[in-house]
Structure 1
Amino acid sequence: MAPIRPISAPRIVLYHQTTHNPDGSHISILPLLTQPGIALTHLIVAAIHINEDPNAITLNDHHPSDPRYTTLWAETRIAQASGIQVLGMLGGAAKGSYCRLDKDEATFEAYYVPVRDLIRQRGLQGLDLDVEEDFSLGGMVRLIDRLRLDFGAEFLITLAPVAAALLDVRHNMSGFDYEALEVMRGKEIAWYNAQFYNGWGNAGNPFMYELMVARGWPPEKVVVGLLTTGENGNGFVPWELMGPNLGLLRRQFERFGGVMGWEYFNSSPGGRDRPWEWAQRMTETLRAGEGKGTEHRPSGVANALKGDDEDDDATPAAPLPAPFVYQTDGEDA
């Protein structure tokens, strides 16, 4: 597993679920490394599902070892070598993963071990727990404790509640109380990717985030979750509103937790042809002066991205996603 380098808030986090075009061609994340003005901090590969057969774990619709993911895993290694921390996401809108982990010890063990093994095999630096089904508080505590035991103090454990759940337990998709979890295991949780969309929050003004901080949530632990485009759900906030609001939160809270985007492949304003532009705008707003291209990355990484010809000083353009009709490999977050 790649070592964790400390990253200060505000974070810039992107989910990467749609990894392929409908024709089967791979959607590359390398432009997030090669395009200028990008200081992405975390990439979350989604979505890992636990199925009825404990050994039939899937990344969206295929086993994580399926050849279709060979390029994905190679690119995540390059991203890690470039300083981006790579996590996996467990769960999401497709239900079943967490109910299978919420049973007796023997059943928990049978379903947990394949997830543990996947994390080890792919060198993931953390796990994002997106619980959109009933899951007990005790079950979440057990899962967090086991992840910490197996992967140590540096392993990132994040959660992805709907934003409203951080203010009112009744407005919640997870079944347990996030405030109670923070009291019990907050020291083990790196941050919360709070979903400010699909009717659970509004990222167009600072009001809801301010309420969270007033309620006692540390600002460095609350990341504002956004739709990267109106194609990915309800509640997309145009940049004309979102940009100024994020800038305001950045100035208002010295330890502002940052922003996450669902999801990469069709992010605005560049869309499917130039999805990295979302990360460029977020870098400009939240981490001004930190954006970089291959010339600022470790030499081995830059050479890997450029190819084997050491005499060629020009960095070739990274492969771009081809235009296509929106389609995900699995369920939406």
Structure 2
Amino acid sequence: MVSCRPLGWLARYFALLAPLVCTVAAAPPDDHRVVIYYQTGLGTDVTHVPLLPLIQAEPAISVTHLLIAALHIIDDDGGIHLNDHRPDDPVFDLMWTEAAQLQTAGVKVMCMVGGAARGSFQRLDSDDASFERYYAPLHNLIGSHNIQGLDIDVEENFSLKGVIRLIDRLKADFGSDFIITLAPVAAALTEGGGNLSGFSYFELDAQRGSSIAFYNAQFYFGWGNAGSARDYESILDDGFAANRVVMGLLSNPANGNGFVNLDSEAAVLRELVTENANFGGVANWEYFNSLPGGTAAPYQWASWMAEHMQAARKMERREISSSEALWRGVRKLGRRIRREAKKSYYHYIA
């Protein structure tokens, strides 16, 4: 038998159903980020996937952020690996050289830590002495390669206290200009949505939002649908600003479930940009086989995305209709009901 607490708070949220027209303040064009995740081809495979076409093969540089993936905090072999090797392994020499050239051209070069391979954040979530042991190799890597930021991709349990300690330490050690991003599944940025990280992104943003540049939200593997504007809009409706939410996309159907073909994605981008002048941009998982160019020309993904966002910016500003605002209010109410229900009997609702 399941019992529920009285939902006296419910009436407060019916105000969300009132029709309204949303307006968004303008933001600089460079808020429309083009983020590249670079893993396959930087030492995990025999063949190096070159980065220089990102700054040389097109008339303009479209990529804004390069995220080298994935760092793993370990117990031996120097305490840190970049995929299967130490970051200073010669297999990465060409990659680091090319990454430095992108940086010189104005691209922000960052590293991603964590991801699907678990253990990194468990090691960083212990007492202070343990944290210092496991943080030191990460600190040394950032300093030795002039890394400009860290993407924290938490797909295991990590305490709120632990992630705040990591963020605070990075800012203290590398300064206010050091870029910190996180890569939650898209659902984790909605009320009552699924989450892989073990902490609430709403609580994190309330406490350390000023230290977080943006979120690379994963709209794939069932955690969000990039084939429609709806899931992105749900994140905005629940309080996250558009300029801080990057829509993470699969760049090729071979990279997992949730790929959206480019023709369909063009319409979604057009809707999001024309309704949100400060749309946060897009990210891809991952670079090496990105369409439309595929393995022969993966750099074309960045230029395709930039061109479509730029074209949408030039279109007439689109306001949200009263009927759409009403429907978004209904969806928001449903998410809040789900959130409160999960608080009451979270073992029952997945």
Aligned with 2:112: secondary structure? strand
| 1:225-244 → structure 2 map (5 Å cutoff) | 225-244=248-267
Check whether the contact 2:109–2:147 (CA below 8 A) recurs between aligned residues.
yes
Check whether the contact 1:131–1:174 (CA below 8 A) recurs between aligned residues.
yes
Counterpart code for 1:123: N
What do the CA deviations read for 1:211-245 (whole angstroms, capped 9, x no partner)?
11111111100000000000111000011111110
Check whether the contact 1:38–1:283 (CA below 8 A) recurs between aligned residues.
no
What residue is the counterpart of 1:86 in the other structure? 109
CA shift for structure 1 position 19: 2.1
Check whether the contact 2:181–2:214 (CA below 8 A) recurs between aligned residues.
yes
Check whether the contact 1:228–1:266 (CA below 8 A) recurs between aligned residues.
yes
- Seq. identity, %: 50
The equivalent position to 2:123 in structure 1, one of 97, 100, 106, is 100
What residue is the counterpart of 2:243 in the other structure? 220
Check whether the contact 1:269–1:278 (CA below 8 A) recurs between aligned residues.
yes
Check whether the contact 2:191–2:238 (CA below 8 A) recurs between aligned residues.
no
The equivalent position to 2:37 in structure 1, one of 6, 10, 15, is 15
Counterpart code for 1:176: F
CA shift for structure 1 position 288: 5.2
Computed over aligned residues only, the root mean square deviation of the Cα atoms, in angstroms, reads 1.8
| 1:1-333 → structure 2 map (5 Å cutoff) | 8-20=30-42, 24-36=46-58, 37-53=60-76, 55-169=78-192, 171-287=194-310
CA shift for structure 1 position 23: 6.6
Counterpart code for 2:163: M
4+ runs of 1 displaced by more than 3 Å?
20-23
What do the CA deviations read for 1:22-71 (whole angstroms, capped 9, x no partner)?
87232101110111144110000000000123823100000000000000
Q: Partners of 2:168 and 2:44 in 1: how far apart? A: 39
Q: Partners of 2:90 and 2:77 in 1: how far apart? A: 20
Q: Partners of 1:244 and 1:165 in 2: how far apart? A: 24
Q: Which has the higher helix share?
A: 2
Q: Partners of 1:86 and 1:189 in 2: how far apart? A: 16
Q: Tell me the TM-score normalized by structure 2.
A: 0.79
Question: What is the count of residue pairs matched by the alignment?
Answer: 285
Q: Tell me the TM-score normalized by structure 1.
A: 0.82
Aligned with 1:287: secondary structure? helix
The structure with the largest alpha-carbon Rg is: 2
Aligned with 2:235: secondary structure? helix
Q: Partners of 2:142 and 2:192 in 1: how far apart? A: 31
CA shift for structure 1 position 169: 4.9
Instruction: State which drifts further: 203-212 or 184-193.
Output: 203-212
What residue is the counterpart of 2:332 in the other structure? none
Check whether the contact 2:78–2:86 (CA below 8 A) recurs between aligned residues.
no
Q: Greater relative contact order: 1 or 2 (C-alpha under 8 angstroms, separation 6 or more)? A: 1
Q: Partners of 2:192 and 2:179 in 1: how far apart? A: 24
Check whether the contact 1:197–1:234 (CA below 8 A) recurs between aligned residues.
yes
CA shift for structure 1 position 168: 3.6
Flag structure 1 segments of 5+ consecutive residues without an equivalent.
1-5, 290-333
Q: Identify if the C-alpha distance between structure 1 residues 7 and 118 changes in structure 2 by more than 3 Å, giving closer, same or farther.
A: farther
